[in-house]
């Protein structure tokens, strides 16, 4: 385990005794890969012609090593979809030099200094690449890959989930999985947990979703049963 992973895990375990359970860097399904940095996952999906990423994890050179493990060149990524702008999700956007960056239009306030992540103390960093702003239900085509943006505010005002090819749902920090069941994300990290609960209800109503991928607590290939409660 790299030093940064150790430090992040130690700090997290000491300060908060929550259940972080990211997936080790691996292939998850045909064309789908999880990459792990410390306590967070980002995801890469390729159909052989086009390659996209969901989130960009922390800013760390260690991410390049994780890409080597899955044998994909970060420069081959043409579209980077950010679930939100927190540093563990957007930090490494700069290594995807050939990617168009996408995020929710409601998240722009978090990267241009208008809204602080922790009022009076901390704001999320700027994104210096040009970026594209998305609204709820926008669909982006990366060749034959279809990505639908689903606005799910709560963790941050512009938290966004992404549905790839109508079946794989990437939820960022909109929810956690515990024993294969869905719960809201840890409330002390949320800017509005009540709003997040409404967002989760919205996700529960989606049809034909096969698998759900979180950023910190693994995944489930049984979407229906994960939401059953």
For 107-123, b where at least 16 C-beta lie within 10 A, e where not — what string? bbbbbeeebebeeeeeb
Query: Is the CB of 142 or the CB of 157 nearer to Zn ion?
Result: 157
Say if residues 220 and 211 touch (Cβ distance below 8 Å). yes
Say if residues 89 and 173 touch (Cβ distance below 8 Å). yes
Residue 88 lies near Zn ion (rule: CB under 5 A): yes
Following DSSP, what letter does each residue of 191-211 receive, concatenated? S-HHHHHHHHHHHHT--S--E
Tell the smallest beta-carbon distance from residue 91 to Zn ion (Å).
Answer: 10
Alpha helices in the chain (DSSP H): 3-15, 62-70, 87-90, 108-111, 193-204, 223-227
Query: Is the CB of 59 or the CB of 210 nearer to Zn ion?
Result: 59
Which range touches Zn ion (CB under 5 A), out of 87-95, 97-105, 112-120, 220-228? 87-95
Look at residues 42, 12, 10, 13 and name the one whose alpha carbon lies nearest to residue 25.
42
Residue 55 lies near Zn ion (rule: CB under 5 A): no
Contact flags string 166-195 toward Zn ion, x per CB under 5 A: -------x----------------------
Query: Is the CB of 57 or the CB of 115 nearer to Zn ion?
Result: 57
Burial class (CB in 10 A: 0-12, 13-18, 19+), 73: exposed
Tell the smallest beta-carbon distance from residue 216 to Zn ion (Å).
Answer: 6
Contact flags string 102-141 toward Zn ion, x per CB under 5 A: ----------------------------------------
Q: Which residues pair with 29 in a beta bridge?
A: 32
Q: Which two tokens stand for residue 62?
A: 């260690």
Q: How many residues bind Zn ion (CB under 5 A)?
A: 2
Tell the smallest beta-carbon distance from residue 1 to Zn ion (Å).
Answer: 19
Which range touches Zn ion (CB under 5 A), out of 67-75, 80-88, 129-137, 145-153? 80-88
Query: Is the CB of 87 or the CB of 140 nearer to Zn ion?
Result: 87
Query: Is the CB of 46 or the CB of 214 nearer to Zn ion?
Result: 214
């Amino acid at each position: 385990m790299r030093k940064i992973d150790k430090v992040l895990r130690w700090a997290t375990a000491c300060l908060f005794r929550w259940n972080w359970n990211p997936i080790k860097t691996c292939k998850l399904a045909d064309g789908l890969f999880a990459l792990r940095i410390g306590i967070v996952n980002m995801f890469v999906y390729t159909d052989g012609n086009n390659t996209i990423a969901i989130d960009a994890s922390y800013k760390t050179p260690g991410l390049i090593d994780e890409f080597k493990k899955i044998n994909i060149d970060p420069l081959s990524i043409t579209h980077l979809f950010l679930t939100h702008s927190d540093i563990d999700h957007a930090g490494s956007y700069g290594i995807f030099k050939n990617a168009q960056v996408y995020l929710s239009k409601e998240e722009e306030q978090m990267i241009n200094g208008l809204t602080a992540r922790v009022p009076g103390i901390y704001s999320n960093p700027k994104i210096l690449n040009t970026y594209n702003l998305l609204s709820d239900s926008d669909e982006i085509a990366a060749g034959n890959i279809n990505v639908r943006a689903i606005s799910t505010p709560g963790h941050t005002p512009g938290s966004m989930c992404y549905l790839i090819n109508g079946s794989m749902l990437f939820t960022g920090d909109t929810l956690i999985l515990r024993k294969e069941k869905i719960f809201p994300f840890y409330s002390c990290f949320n800017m509005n947990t009540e709003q997040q609960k409404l967002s989760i209800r919205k996700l529960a109503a989606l049809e034909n979703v096969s698998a759900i991928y979180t950023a910190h607590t693994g995944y489930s290939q049984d979407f229906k049963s994960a939401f059953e409660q």
